[in-house]
Amino acid sequence: MVNVIGLGYIGLPTALMMASHGVEVVGTDYNAALVDTLNAGRPTFKEDGLEELFQTAVDAGIKFSHEYQVADTYIISVPTPYDKFSKKVDPCYVVSAAESVLKVCPKGATVVIESTISPGTIDRSIRPLVAAAGFTTGRDIHLVHAPERIIPGNMVYELLHNNRTLGADEREYGEKVKALYASFCQGEIVVTDIKTAEMTKVVENTFRAVNIAFANELAKICRHENMDVYEIIRICNMHPRVNILQPGPGVGGHCISVDPWFLVGDYPSLAKVIDESMKTNDSMPDFVLNRIYEIMREKGMTDITRVGLYGLTYKENVDDFRESPTLQLLESQERHLAPGLKSYDPFIKRDLVKNQYHDLDGFLDAVDLVVIMVKHDEIKRQMGKLHGKVVLDCQNICPMPGVYHI
């Protein structure tokens, strides 16, 4: 039996996927309300295909509990916050989940850590716990790291199709866990050592962060020269070995805006390019705020409360707003003690910020300058409603003439 610990964005789909493919699974989360919702037959967030997957897993007998189970395999997929000041990963949730597992697990159990951790975390924070619990790794407890790679917005598909990495102390247990993931994963599963697996995960997200930063830096250079960054990127990308990403209003989510800081935090004198890239990405919400003031001056607008931010989530068509550029921008505006910008997001039903609207028409009636922060399908479909507005399009999706860009 597999006990999946932590039923969030990664743990829940993973547990459902295994249960749907014939594995006996109990999902555990310390949040009783979340477990109650799951036991009432409802997934706790939205993703393409998640409801169907949930139903299949329930029919196959998945159970949800707030208690740790006696199992042969544990998959720990709890969040790993990071300390904004030291830029270091804070493994407290992984540590406390592992401690709880070690209290109930039988000898011979395999403990798989899926949570994203900085390279060396298992050596530093997990192995000592195993020893303190009176177990010996490699004999009583078998440690494996299985970093996830799925992208919010396409999680179910990517869970089935992405290649994966597993890091294990012992080849035999790496292969055992590989067989477990191969119950549903159609991609290639590479088995390596634990520290290499930890490093690959962080490096993958760092690669993307650095490449987004490059696009954002180009946007700033092109703004200075009054040139069209999108046209420049489009032409450059016709070169067979050039593939530049898109600039945007900032980088959000709990992965690309966070994981690279682990390397900066651990190797401050070595990770120079990464450090500068992260600072560039983090500077984008303020860059957008400055653009708003520039455009207002140009248009003779004086009332900032007639400016509205479209999109509060960290990217399109998801309801996840962790580290969202729009929230960063609003925070920055508050620090400058400026009066409130308006905002609206079709995916955020509850009141998250001040001056937030819950319907597109009401929002548009209340503003003269619309800032497209997130390219939700909704706004692409309803672009006609922006006629007559001043538009700052941070996502390059609005085909109307006279639109401003970052």
- Contacts with ligand SAJ, residue ranges (CB under 6 A): 116, 148-152, 204-205, 208, 212, 245-246, 248, 251-253, 255-256, 314-315
Which of these, 101, 17, 115, lies nearest to 57 by C-alpha position?
Answer: 17
* Minimum CB distance to ligand SAJ, residue 163 (Å): 11
Query: Assign residue 241 a region: left if phi > 0, alpha if psi is -120 to 50, beta otherwise?
Result: alpha
Query: Tokens for 179?
Result: 């067989």
Which single residue is written with the structure tokens 């935090």?
265
Catalytic member of 63, 87, 178, 201: 201
For residue 259, the surrounding DSSP H or E stretch is helix 259-266
* Minimum CB distance to ligand SAJ, residue 150 (Å): 5
Query: Is 201 a catalytic site residue?
Result: yes
The answer to whether the beta carbons of residues 141 and 102 sit under 8 Å apart is yes
Catalytic member of 255, 315, 342, 398: 255
DSSP lists the bridge partners of residue 357 as 344
Query: Is 255 a catalytic site residue?
Result: yes
User: Exposure pattern of 77-116 as b/e (b: 16+ CB <10 Å)?
Assistant: bbbbebeeeebebebebbbebbebbbeebeeebbbbbbbb
Nearer to ligand SAJ, 129 or 233 (CB): 233
Please state, in angstroms and rounded to a whole number, the distance separating the CA atoms of residues 10 and 207: 21
Please state, in angstroms and rounded to a whole number, the distance separating the CA atoms of residues 189 and 182: 8
Please state, in angstroms and rounded to a whole number, the distance separating the CA atoms of residues 68 and 27: 9
* Minimum CB distance to ligand SAJ, residue 316 (Å): 7
* Minimum CB distance to ligand SAJ, residue 41 (Å): 27
* Minimum CB distance to ligand SAJ, residue 7 (Å): 16
**What positions carry a catalytic annotation?**
201, 255
